[in-house]
Amino acid sequence: MLSKAVQDAINEQIKNELYSAYLYLSMAAYCESINLPGFAHWMRRQYEEEVTHGLKFFDYLTERGARVTLKAIDQPPADFKSPLAMFQQTLEHEQKVTGLIHDLYALAVKENDYASQVELQWFIKEQVEEEKSASEIIEQLKMMGEHGPSLIMMDRHLASR
């Protein structure tokens, strides 16, 4: 059985994962509004991935006989300065999520909760991938600039995700 501290922390992380989904859906809407459907597609895939992460935590709690308690999700920003600024915000957000996952893992260690430690290892690996992906796109946007044909090519590339 999960300790109350781990159960509460995972419930909080469900909220955080669903906020991430909401943030990426807002970014997709922004991309659609500036006629970058490939960027919007990439953000929609991120949205779906984050919902899946939230459900993975949800299912983990129920499998362990714990109670899921859903919390209110804050409204994400709706406007972004540019595609580059949006991806920089994406990276910063993923770095924050990485910290939250690390904190959860540290709590599981403190509570001698070995099953949660194993479950959280998947999320730790996932965060490495999330940060790498955002970093690569940021570097590509910096190299090519944010206007003209290069941006259209990047939009088409992101649509292939």
**Total domains, the chain:** 1
Summarize the confidence of residues 136-147 as an average pLDDT. 87
Per-residue pLDDT at 87 exceeds 90: yes
pTM given for the model: 0.93
For the domain that residue 125 is a member of, what is the CATH number?
Answer: 1.20.1260.10
**Structural domain for 8, as ranges:** 4-159
Which long-range contacts (C-beta less than 8 Å, at least 24 apart) are formed by 81-85?
A: 82/146, 83/31, 83/34, 83/36, 83/39, 83/141, 83/146, 83/151, 83/154, 84/138, 84/141, 84/142, 84/146
Q: Are the beta carbons of 73 and 13 closer than 8 angstroms?
A: no
Summarize the confidence of residues 57-75 as an average pLDDT. 97
